[in-house]
Amino acid sequence: MAGQAFGVIGLEVMGRNIAMNIERNGFPIAVYNRTYSKTEHFINETAKGRNAKGAKTVAEFAQLLERPRRILIMVKAGAPVDAVINELKPVLQPGDIVIDGGNSLFTDTERRVAELKPTGIRFFGMGVSGGEEGALWGPSLMPGGDFESYQHLKPVLEKIAAKAPSDGVPCVTYCGDGGAGHFVKMVHNGIEYGDMQLIAEAYDLLKNVGGLNNAQLQDVFAQWNTTELQSFLIEITQKVINFPDPQNPSRPLVEQIRDVVGMKGTGTWTIKAALDLLVPIPTIAAAVDSREISMLKNEREAASQVLGGAMPRVIGQKCDQYGPIQQFIDSLYPNGVQQFANDVKDALYCSKICSYAQGMALLSAANRTRDKGGFDFHMKLPDLPMIWRAGCIIRAVFLEEITKAFRQNPNLPNLLMDARFVDMIGQRQRAWRRVVTLGIANGIGLPAFSGSLAYYDSYRRARLPGNLIQAQRDFFGAHTYERTDKPGTFIHTEWSEQTPPAKSPEAHEQDKARKA
């Protein structure tokens, strides 16, 4: 008698939903949970009438599955994953495939691959994005591990994954070796951090400088979601921004929520990986910094009573005490708030492009061989934005353009260099600069908007002031430097107070004239 086609361990909401997704798509499932009552509830209630079997023990669970066994672990990242693996090892056989579908750190996945290799058990790390609904109806899946084993997983994963609306292609691909799948998911989450911070900054500007109320904000985000900004995060922003407070339906719930933002660590992991790979990701870093500063709620409340500075001034709202600053603000937007909202939209779009460009640059760096400072993942970069087009949190219409860019040029050094994105930013960057300037004039911190703009401006400059830093480093640490007029690295210069300062060409001509 044939066994169940697929196994799921862990029956919290994500595990339950993805198990139902697998069964609904034609693959009989076996399930196991450490607490057997949850297994019973799943079999007798959630999956009643379905082709699903539950097990009381790991050994019984293994016996229910056809070989090679395909087992998805959906438990909390860290020690719980290791605990499940240790339970499984005695009951599995060479060739069986174990998949960690949690938000694990990619280096933990690499370690687990190496530890299980002598046993013949194949280990996969798979990013799963889309939340509870995505798990049930179609997530974006990012599996990484042994390529041969992926062929056993592919029929199931392609069936349960979300399908891109433009072409129906499943939002799953083989991401690469070892910890590649969890690395891709980590970068996805870093981009998600950046995207959410950028939208929050747009909201801050529209509310506190544009003077829009929440009903008007809802209309703005609804309109934006019909444009090039169409995305899941814009869509849900429209839904939450004016949602009535259940305790007082006359006011928006979002305004009653404390401005302290939580995080589970994936954004921090992204920054650490970027530091190791020497890849600048200022938009993503700004998003993490902003969450951290939000946690200083008590300090911020105290500082608001002590630290002076510019305060938000609403466009078109006359107030004598604002004086020249108000005139400056109004001069930028003679046509009023609608003109300002359009600028914020353009600034958001440009900043989003930079955030995704940083994420793709980080993936490209990780793809380098280890002798060149990478992780040797063997990822196919054009395939990665393609699997984010549906099912996941960062799904957005402009991922189609990113996919096209990397398909046409898999070796694209940076998304900003693609002709389409050169034009997109070129058409919008004046608005971007006006918005960042306005934020500064109003005392509104725009770390992700301004960080994105600084990234863009720094990337497009042929010469940065790093020459001075190199001179300073050589002065105090003999770190050496390269010259602009000769190839190669030069030895330490003996910088001395007695050394005469460099003279301008004009000064040299004057010296010659005096000597003559």
Helices (H) and strands (E) counted in the chain, each on its own, are 21, 11
Instruction: Say whether 185 is catalytic.
Output: yes
CA separation (Å) from 185 to 67, 164, 196, 207, 234?
Answer: 28, 18, 16, 33, 21
Classified as helix, coil or strand, 143 is: strand
Q: Which secondary-structure segment (H or E) carries 344?
A: helix 337-366
Task: Give residue for tokens 């309109």.
Answer: 223
Residue 159 contacts residue 27 (beta carbons within 8 Å): yes
CA–CA distance from 36 to each of 43, 47, 55, 66, 265 (Å)?
11, 15, 8, 22, 30
Q: Give the closest residue to 115 by CA, choosing from 88, 152, 142, 141.
A: 88
- Among 38, 53, 185, 207, which one carries the catalytic annotation? 185
What gap in Å lies between CA 448 and CA 456, rounded to an integer? 12
Vertex 282: Cα angle to 279 and 283 (nearest 5) = 125
Alpha carbons 212 and 334: distance in angstroms, whole number: 17
Tokens of 318: 């006359």
What is the maximum span of the chain, computed from C-alpha positions, in angstroms? 106
**Cis previous bond, 68, omega within 30:** yes
CB 360 within 8 A of CB 156: no
Catalytic residue among 23, 87, 110, 192: 192
CB 157 within 8 A of CB 380: no
Check: CB of residue 75 under 8 Å from CB of residue 11. Answer: no
Q: Cα(61)–Cα(34) distance, rounded to whole angstroms?
A: 11
Nearest to 449 by CA among 459, 441, 461, 437: 437
The CA distance from 205 to 183, in Å, is 33
CA distances from 468 to 198, 464, 471, 481, 482 (A): 33, 9, 5, 10, 12
Distance CA 418, CA 404 (A): 10
CB 14 within 8 A of CB 74: yes
CA 352 to chain centre: 11
* Residues noted as catalytic: 185, 192
